[in-house]
Structure 1
Amino acid sequence: MDLVQLGIAASLFLASHFILSHPLRASLVRSLGAEAFLVVYSLIALVSFSWLMLCYGRVPAGVPLWDGHAPLPWAVASVLTVIALGLFLPSLYRNPALAAAKTAGLDTVRPQGVFLITRHPMMFAIALWALSHILIAPTGRGFVFMGTMIALAVGGAHLQDRKKKALDGKNWRPWMSRTPFWPDVRQFGQLGAIWGLALGLWVLITWLHIPTVGEPAGVWILHHAHVG
């Protein structure tokens, strides 16, 4: 029953986000005003996500489908997390896919860096982070919660393209033609030194996983196993 409630909470979280972000956004902004809409949107997102987290916490972890701390899932999850950080860090700078970003003049811009990999680096960073957690915690609640994050990220990226084309197709369509939607692994070298920063941040975050979550993660799993 708890898992069913988690599924309902996940569905409502996704539905409210997608509906308010796209089909109803324009009409609500016209009727409420941009600032009031942002307040309403933020409150609904906070309440729905809080309920999702509450339901997640109520579901017993259960028996995992495989050993997430085994060498193969651990290694793959670690690599995916580093890649996610490598995509996320540069996505914070001059990212035209962000809601408040200006697209004027984008039709003449040649993509560089992370945007040669994907035009939605932040969204795919979230999706890869969630996928890595499914690999190391393959439980029912993990599949529902992290699957929700993947659907939010990939579905949100697709809807961002639709919204940007509707608002400013003159600039967004040329940008789409120059940048891939799905991450192009052949362009990973474009990130250069960012990979070093991502790796260092991964080591720090996985170390913080021990005092905050109570479980070792990343390279610290090896350290924990050696000490144990």
Structure 2
Amino acid sequence: MADWFEFIAALTLFMLSHMFPVRPPMRPWLIARLGLRGYFISYSVLSLLVLAWLFVAAARAPYVAVLPQWEILRWAPLLVMPLACLIAVGGMMGQNPLSFGGLGSKPFDPETPGMLAASRHPLLVAMALWAGAHLLANGDLAHVILFGLFGGFAVLGMTLIDRRKQRLLGLGEWQRLAQGTARLNLLRLPLSPLPIGLALIIFVALILLHEPVIGYVPLPW
């Protein structure tokens, strides 16, 4: 059990850091003292540090095989991550009143939903694809727990956000905005040159940074 202490501690801290700082009364208390900008910066830095420790702890945990380590499964991230990058990039390029917002300046038009036609939760879909692919490629117990947690959070989050947005917007307005969207329908995936190009750049950057940051070469050859 002692060999698992670091992973359990990192996982516990990760879950606590995503529960208490974002909920009342802790969130208003922190914002009152740090300011809204200071709160988001501090929370982002804390999340990244804890996440980095969680990945390191998972790599150090004792190896307990759960899934078969077939060579073909190591190709899963290389095949799935370009799609995940495309969905994330395409989703963030526009406004998204149905999920996490978006960075685009043009107001969302339900008649031309863009990437939201494939998923109104592009960041969560990208997270689910990332987690699922890496779970297959890393079949040991620690990584199955780690990526299973992220994948489960992403899938559950889509349902929870839909319910919350329906409550905040009103069912009629939500239905009007969501009429051309789907929770997930890859057959409606829009393919435009700019998001494809940006997604490929991000994918290549992830490949190059994987070894110096994670400590593992993702290419199976």
Q: TM-score range by the shorter chain?
A: 0.7 to 0.9
Runs of at least 5 residues in structure 1 that lack an aligned partner in the other structure: 223-228
Contact 1:116–1:180, Cα closer than 8 Å, also in 2: yes
Task: Give, in angstroms, the shift of residue 14 of structure 1.
Answer: 4.1
- Could you tell me how far apart the structure 2 residues matched to 1:214 and 1:48 are? 17
Query: Which residues in structure 2 correspond to 1:1-228 (within 5 Å)?
Result: 1=1, 2-3=3-4, 6=7, 10=11, 13-14=14-15, 17=18, 21=22, 24-25=23-24, 29=28, 35=36, 38=40, 45=47, 49=51, 52-53=54-55, 55-63=57-65, 65-67=67-69, 70-71=71-72, 73-96=73-96, 97-98=99-100, 109-169=110-170, 170-181=172-183, 183-188=184-189, 190-193=190-193, 194-217=195-218, 220-222=219-221
Per-residue CA deviations over 1:125-180 (Å, capped at 9, x if unaligned) read 11111111111111111111111211222223322222222222253332233311
Secondary structure of 1:221 counterpart: coil
Q: Name the SS for the 2:89 alignment partner.
A: helix
Aligned amino acid, residue 74 of structure 2: W
Structure 2 letter corresponding to 1:67: Q
| Contact 2:64 2:140 (8 Å CA) reproduced | yes
Report the RMSD for the aligned CA atoms in angstroms. 3.6
Q: CA 1:3 to 1:95, structure 2 compared with 1: closer, same or farther past 3 Å?
A: farther
Q: From the superposition, tell whether residues 195 and 39 of structure 1 become closer, same or farther in structure 2 (CA, over 3 Å).
A: closer
Q: How many residues align?
A: 211
Deviation at 1:83, TM superposition (A): 0.8
Change (3 A) 1:92 1:76: same
Name the TM-score, length of structure 1 as normaliser. 0.70
* CA shift for structure 1 position 196: 4.5
Shift of 1:3: 4.2
1:155/1:32 Cα in 2 relative to 1: closer, same or farther (>3 Å)? same
Provide the C-alpha distance between the structure 2 equivalents of 1:109 and 1:210, rounded to a whole number of angstroms: 41
